[in-house]
Structure 1
Amino acid sequence: MTSFPVLLPPCASRDAACVINAALLAQWPLPQPAADADKAGRGHILIVAGSPETPGAAVLAATAALRAGAGKLVIATAASVATAIGIAMPEARVIAIPETSRGGITLHAAKSLQQAIGMVDAAVIGPGMPKGVATSHLVALLREAWPVVPLVLDATAMDALPAQPDLGGPLALTPHAGEMAHLTGHAKADIEHDAASHALHYANAWSATLALKGGSTHIASPDGRLWRLDDGDVGLATSGSGDVLAGLVGGLLARGADVEQALAWATWLHGQAGKCQAQRQGPLGYLARELAAEIPRLLQVPAESHAAIPY
């Protein structure tokens, strides 16, 4: 697996939230591959995503992971849509996994993916997958087999948490308030009213770094550190946007970022990509598929002396 030095995060006080902006990220640069690195040296990522109803989620997450700088991509998806996803994503190796009648993965298929995750630097599980016991079982099996591989759990994959609140190893979660309400039993309105407290509590309870998405996104670490991103864009509240964010987090993890850094950078990149699209097309109506193309340029912005973003 790829190994990079990890920088300690700036502004890591437990007394108040650190605001995520270009100035903060300039002090927290992402790991960079060597000039002569091959594609594996840039990071190898596994995306477990998609279903017959929502195959595009796998494409959105996978595209974002590559745009974030990962060099090698494997997609594991339902067999009935694997060929179509492979055509839509020619950069990927695609694993067709047996599926249930509802398009979910089977328990047998979950075991077959244990070998695949042992060869990658990070994995994203959940975008576009249907709810079901097998998805939660997959998370547990992969964590048991490879506890050191950073995992991003998105959408239905987060259902594994209430039953197994400490999955161990580096773990990133990306719930919005509605998903957080489903996972915790709290009212959505209560979570939105005090998002920071809920993020901190459940990051500790689940031993995970958690990005609670909303108008302001709160990122909490298990040891009580908190970051906040205030400049979200309403246009990002659109189908597929969360799949893009999950892929960004996974791609940055594959590059060698730790979980806190990957979530901080990914949420900022995601928000800025929305602003770029809003400026170019209008505040509403741009598509999730259009966000990822903004990312390579935005990755350079924090290092450019905090220059204004060239929309």
Structure 2
Amino acid sequence: MAEVTTLDGAWLRANPLPLPDEESDKNARGRVFVVGGCMTVPGGVRLTAEAALRSGAGKVRIATVEPTAVILGAFLPEVAVLPQPMDEAGEIDAAVARIADDVRRCDALVIGPAMGCKRQASALVGMALAEEARAGLVLDAAALMALSDHALALCRRERPAVLTPHIGEIAALLGRDAGEIDKDRVAATRDCAERFGSVVVLKGAVSIVAEPGGATFSYSGGNVGLATGGSGDVMAGIAAALIARGAEPTVAALWAVWLHGEAGRRCAETVGPLGFLASELLGFIPQVMQRAA
């Protein structure tokens, strides 16, 4: 069994993030496309989009349900918002969604944040995979709950996708009991990485990251305050931005885990160990990223 590498400062220094040239325009800094949101959680997708901007992406676009699109665009004027048809449950209606052009044009695509319907999220994933786009791919939340139909397509991708499950979501991915998985989180993460040909981030008090082929990492620098609504949406946005900037999927996933954890540590110090909001992580991302550069 391959060893587990500790994610620490030495690893980060040995694997720096790509830095944009001083002459770079916003397109050269990477384009992120976020597909998600629903009427039940209308603002969650904003966390992913802003996290991508805070992590250095040059341009971010959001596809979300039509009734919330204008509000999101006004709240976050730095992004473009693409209103999508909505089904009766208040979710993006994948059958008539208009995302193909943006999937082809982006450098990194995130699907699933703040969505509640795994059926619609799965259909959106299928649409994205069918495009055979060169973009990096991050799958989160509802997009993780019905991936079995897409396992072969994910394994065939030239660049591995990044999956960001918590323990309940990885249990669904593997069709196993969460309690069983908790007894050996490393083995479950490796199994998931192999099954879906993807880099898998199993979030938790100790986060485990595994890539296809067995390389596995652990990070224990987070805190209990990060176990709050929207926190995972932030991590997904960080990972997508780093891929869009040119980082390989494993490097992007590991840096996202570290930046997310360090932002949580700053919040714990300035706000308190419990009770800080996922939105409060956002302002610390550029600071911790600069400190590690």
With the length of structure 1 as denominator, give the TM-score of the two structures: 0.90
- Counterpart of 1:71, as a letter, is G
In the alignment, which residue of structure 2 is the partner of 1:254? 244
Quote the offset at 1:132 in angstroms. Answer: 4.1
Taking the aligned partners of 1:94 and 1:230, their CA distance within structure 2 comes to 36
Greater CA drift, 132-141 or 86-95:
132-141
Deviations 1:81-112 (A, max 9, x none): 101111111001100000101112223333x2
Residue pairs, 1:249-288, within 5 angstroms: 249-288=239-278
Structure 2 residue aligned with 1:58: 45
Alignment of 1:80-229 (within 5 A): 80-110=67-97, 112-166=98-152, 167=154, 168-169=156-157, 170-229=160-219
- Normalised to the residue count of structure 2, the TM-score between the two structures is 0.95
Alpha-carbon contact 2:170-2:192 (below 8 Å) kept: no
Which residue number corresponds to residue 11 of structure 1? none
CA contact (8 A) 2:103 2:133 kept: no
Shift of 1:236: 0.2
1:151 counterpart SS class: strand
**Cα distance, 1:223 vs structure 2:** 1.2
Secondary structure of 1:65's counterpart equals: helix
- Percent identical residues: 39
User: 1:308 maps to what in 2?
Assistant: none
Q: Which amino acid aligns with 2:151?
A: P
Contact 1:126 1:154 in 2 (8 A): yes
What is the rounded CA distance, in whole Å, between the counterparts of 1:267 and 1:109 in structure 2?
34
Equivalent residues, number: 289
**Contact 1:104–1:132 (8 Å) recurs in 2:** no
Q: Structure 2: which 5+ residue stretches go unaligned?
A: none
Distance in 2 of aligned mates of 1:113 and 1:149: 13
Aligned pair 1:245/2:232, yes or no? no
CA distance in structure 2 between the aligned counterparts of 1:128 and 1:65, rounded to whole angstroms: 15
Deviation at 1:52, TM superposition (A): 0.9
Letter in 2 for 1:90: P
User: Hey, what's the Cα distance between the residues in 2 that align with 1:182 and 1:34?
Assistant: 42
Quote the RMSD (CA, aligned, Å): 1.3
